[in-house]
Chain A
Amino acid sequence: MSRTDLIPPDRSPSAHCHARRVRLPDGVGATWLAGLFERAVRTWWGDTPDRLPRLWDERVPAACDSAVAGRRVEAELHRPLDAEGALLRAVLLQYADGPADLVLVAHRANLDALSLRTVADVLTGRARYEGFTDKTASHIVAAADAETLKRWREADFSGRIAWASGDDAAGDRTGLVTVAIREAGPDVPATMAAAVGLVLGRYENQENPVVGVLGPVPERPEGALGAFDAGLLLALDLSGARTAGELVAETAQALASDGGRCDGRQYAELLAETGGRVVAGLLTDGPAESGSGTHVPCQTAPFPLTIVPGRTPDGGLQLVVRHRLEDVDADSARRFARHVVRAYEQLANAPAGLVPADVELMDEAETRQVVALGRPLRRLDWRPERIDDVFASRVAERPDAVALTCEGRSLTYAELDARADRFAAALLDRGVRAGERVGVCLGRTPDLVVAMLAVLKADAVYVPMDPAYPADRLAFTAQDAALRIVIADQDFPGGGSASVVRPEELETHGGEAGRARPERREPGEAAYVIYTSGSTGRPKGVVVPHRNVVALLSATRDDFGLGPGDTWTLFHSSAFDFSVWEIWGALLTGARLVVVPYWVSRSPEEFRELLARERVTVLNQTPSAFAQLMEADRRQDERLAVRLVIFGGEPLDARPLRAWFDRYPEDRCRLVNMYGITETTVHVTAQNVTRREAMTGSRSVGHALPGWHLYVLDERGRPVPCGVPGEIHVGGDGVALEYLDRPELTAQRFLPDPFTMGRVYRSGDRGRLLPDGRLEHLGRLDTQVKLRGFRVELDEIRNVLLDDPSVTAAAVVLNGDRDAAGARIDAYVVPAGGDPAAIRQRAAKVLPEHMLPATITPLDTLPLTANGKLDVRGLPEPVVAPAAPIRAPSGELAGALAAVWESVLGVPVGPDDNFFELGGNSLYAMRVAAAMRDRGLPAFPMRELYLHPTVSGLAYVLDEVTSHE
């Protein structure tokens, strides 16, 4: 007898032990059985006396149908047997009321399922032992050829199972779910294996999913006792190159051939090479039998999802999935089993042209259920209106309330209204037509808000532009939006055909104020156009109508308790739509809006001071910016008046918020994480963030807002099952009108809603719906990269880095050619102390080799864009490049300044290098200030650095200051 090398090889013996229980027929006594057993095993295995099985005869002091007896049988069926020990364990359980059960346990490496059944038949008098002999299987199992190995190697292996929740403490424990199969097909194992691969491919978004198969080789000799199970991997081609019929036929062929087997060693090598794993596998012991007794095909599941086709007691087909609780919870396993059965039924009766992608995983009822899952908890109760009309109501209600504050100056609602009316009248005088786009390129001043309101009052459409943006970008926007008029402070660098109007010119306009157009466009018409730059291609203008903004406020006002008692900040660039929420969120609910000067927004300390001074209650922040603010706040004793913080703009890692909750308990300040997209009007979902989320590191972004709804769809636009990742689509009252003048792109991204009236926006974000309808945001679809054949989610790596308590922030980028060997993952971390080597070591414990970043570069802070999001382009080179020759700064002060900058920034500094382009940021700025103080250099206000961000510029100003002292 020689052992067979099984897959998967690394499991405890219980994964390869199988067991069978039979009730002894009437008249078969224990003594008779013992005699027969002795004779039979001596005949079969007399030549290996040290491995000879023995019969354990035991009494159970309880009736055969008692709970005690049931527990005992279960225990016996699940006692493992070592592969090297006795060939078989036989236990006779004699119950107090007469009947007896025989329980047989064997290791697959010694005896296969048919052998075990034969032994049972012999011992219960159904067959004679003389008809069977011990055989060895090794000679009939051929190893995989080079061709097959190559196919396996190139297939998609899986990583962590993201669509289920595992229990880390479950150990070997295995769950079991059963689903009936209504329509049987001709070749059950092959069809089932194809169905499993298909479902797995859909769940994991794989084109070449791998399915393990463990079962008897086709050439199993008649009447043999022994080990005839061998392993096999199926790499299924779901690309569409094969029809469903071909897929099943190929699978059948692989299963029926005597070659192409995968042994334990090959299996282990493959996994080591690909860094992945095989999450689903079939045990094909076969549905060949039904009838009495119990068969346990595996004591614990060898594969995380172990699929066993079998028969129900009445002879029907059924699917049993044994799942390792460590990886897959019961609900997810049940869903998986249901989808496999549905796929199986379609494959079994596939019409000729059916391709794998045609197969539907969910029936109508389940589809309806997941569609309903993405709906908000409440309906939106509102009336579509124009933004300026809602504003007018607020003016009428409380004309003397303060609407805007900026650096000590304030405007009441009435004053703001009047000033905007004057601006509007001036615009009308300049011939602005209804629906015409007007550029607003102003810094963060009250006039920015006045100008936007004025454009709306003139029934035109505002196009916000951040004057800090590069001239090229502004010129592009002006041209793309076909702007005739741009309201700008300084010289508008955009040039071109647009004429620039300064706020002063609009202000001093002599025309009569309050002259609005008699007839204005409907609330469903455009109010503003914001340009977004996707990761690829040129920026595109998103056209958003009035009604969307009003819907957004209606959806959130009551829940957030927004009202005249609130003070908001205008913190974000007007070119980032978070500012739409800040401006209109405040002004349409009667609150006060504090305009935050740019340099204050760049300095967490100064911003914190402003929040305290102005007693701001509603704060909107990107998580990156909030992290810095939190840091600044921690150094102060006094608490802020903030009662609501809204996170937006980028994924939130809730874990660092624990420190915030210690200072600001949840009942004092509510934190809400909102997932949003410019194309769906700022926000889509809302998730309250409490200590619980911080503790669990929850990635949920919550339910859809009332009026908004979500679908998670596959590439064909079909809903994916609950828990399975897909692309987030957003429908409802927030969907923008279009991309300005980009009909093809609009048609690609704004699609007809497949389940209701209206349109949905296809976000390009990956997400999944949790069973309670909350959305989990899993990053951009395009951050999922394929690296050396392996699908890698950069956000997943980032999360692992963030799990390290010594890392406060992290960024992960893919460098080099994406699909070539040159591709490399680089990580940047902000360590709380400690050395990066230790961070790397800890990450290596969790991440497979291919996911481990090639470099981990420590930074003091991550660079942020003007919008407060991670600035990928602002990340330094992971490997320090040799310094290029540069012109030395001239002058004593300039030299000293350059030295300070160099020490802080860690790069060589020339006289005309821009501080911020060298990687400088607010934190570095503070360091520079501190270092200058230490060296006795003149102190300077933060503002100066923003106005003069070069060594020569700043040196000049400082010279001026000191020489006048």
Chain B
Amino acid sequence: MTMRLSGKTAVITGAARGLGRASARMFAREGADLVLLDVARGLPGVPYALGSASQLEYTAELCREFGVSVMTRQADVRETHDVEAAVSMAIGRFGRIDVLVNNAGIAAPSGKVAHEIDEHEWQLMIDVDLSGAWRAIRAVGKLMVEQRSGSIVNIASTAGLVGYRHFAGYVAAKHGLIGLTKAVALDYAPRKVRVNALCPGSVRDDPQVEGRMLAEIARSLDVPVGEHEEAFVQAQPMNTLIEPDDVASAAVWLASDESRQVTGSVLTVDGGFTAR
């Protein structure tokens, strides 16, 4: 079997756990060499624990099983310096970057109506979920344009397409990320660098990837996890939650040459949620 990403180098942000880990693992299985980044510590203002250094290392270990080369680095996507240092390390090691997956993201502080959100909460959400992606794009864009190839996958959300009550900051950031995707896609299209957005629906908190997004959203809304889960199963026409690997497969496709004419697109993996 030929591997779909062999010979490619991918940078994945927010790779310590969750969808980042699931994507990293599937990318490794498809032969990609990896640069895995994560803030790997808590952030003031985020009311839940983010990924840890240990989780990031564990993701790398899982990937190395496939024989690919994997580097990890602590990097906060809010920090230009962190992002640029990580990218130059990646270039030194691998000589090229073929894929960037902008996956790092936070779901909270949330759970308030718009006028109750404070300045700091708003800034934090936009800084991580929207500006973070732009910083990483800025860091790899020049190289990809020179290479005349590259694929950037922005992990947005169905919240980038429709609204959710009490999530104004998150929804605004993810809508912004889709806008960013389309604009940059046009910037880079002549140089064969592709930019696409991937919108997962509600993903099951899979213990294997130590996911906790669903739980955190339920907590923000102050509803029991079981109830929240049930509500989403009902809301997604295929009557099930999304698995992390469902999102990872879509990311592999967008990263691979199989999607070479796909740019500026928004791919939903949401069990039909936004089809209504």
Contacts and interface: CB of A to CB of B under 8 A. Distances in A.
Interface of A: 12-14, 17, 54, 56, 58-62, 68-69, 71-72, 75-76, 78-82, 85-86, 89, 91, 105
A86 B94 CA distance: 12
Given A75-B33, A80-B96, A68 B91 contact: no
Nearest to A93: B69
B95 A81 contact: yes
B93 A56 contact: yes
B69 A58 contact: yes
A675 to B, nearest CB: 39
Contacts of B91: 82, 85
Nearest to A13: B95
A56 B147 CA distance: 24
10 contacts: A17-B95, A61-B64, A69-B67, A71-B6, A72-B69, A79-B94, A81-B95, A85-B91, A89-B92, A91-B69
Given A75-B7, A75-B33, A78-B7, A86 B67 contact: no
B187 interface: no
Contacts of A76: 69
B158 to A, nearest CB: 35
A61 B65 contact: yes
Contact of B67 (A56, A71, A82): A71
A325 to B, nearest CB: 14
B11 to A, nearest CB: 15
Given A71-B67, A72-B67, A80-B96, 6 more contacts: A13-B95, A58-B69, A61-B67, A82-B91, A89-B95, A91-B69
B77 interface: no
Contact of A68 (B67, B92, B93, B147): B67
B91 to A, nearest CB: 7
A72 B95 contact: no
Contacts of B33: 75
A261 to B, nearest CB: 27
Contacts of A78: 7
A72 B33 CA distance: 10
A76 B68 CA distance: 10
User: Chain A binding site: helix, strand, loop or mixed by DSSP?
Assistant: mixed
Contacts of A82: 91, 95
Contacts of B6: 71, 75
A105 B64 CA distance: 22
Contacts of A62: 67
Nearest to B149: A171
B114 to A, nearest CB: 47
A85 B92 contact: yes
Contacts of A14: 95
B7 A72 contact: no
Interface in B133-174: 147
Nearest to B33: A75
Contacts of B68: 72, 75
A60 B67 contact: yes
Nearest to B61: A61
Nearest to B147: A12
**Among all A-B residue pairs, the 7 with the closest Cβ atoms:** A68-B67, A80-B95, A79-B95, A81-B95, A72-B67, A79-B94, A61-B64
B69 A86 contact: no
Contact of A59 (B64, B94, B96): B64
Contacts of B96: 79-80
B92 A54 contact: yes
Contacts of A60: 64, 67
Contacts of B93: 56, 79, 89
A73 to B, nearest CB: 10
A82 B65 CA distance: 29
A76 B33 CA distance: 10
Contacts of A12: 147
Contacts of A72: 67-69
A458 B94 CA distance: 86
A478 to B, nearest CB: 66
A13 to B, nearest CB: 7
Interface in B87-104: 91-96
Contacts of B147: 12
B263 to A, nearest CB: 18
Contacts of A56: 93
A72 B95 CA distance: 15
Contacts of A58: 69
A81 B67 CA distance: 21
B92 A75 contact: no
Nearest to A56: B93
A85 B94 CA distance: 12
Contacts of A59: 64
Nearest to B67: A68
A956 to B, nearest CB: 65
B78 to A, nearest CB: 27
Nearest to B65: A61
A105 B92 CA distance: 11
Contacts of B31: 71
A76 B7 CA distance: 10
B261 to A, nearest CB: 12
A81 B92 CA distance: 7
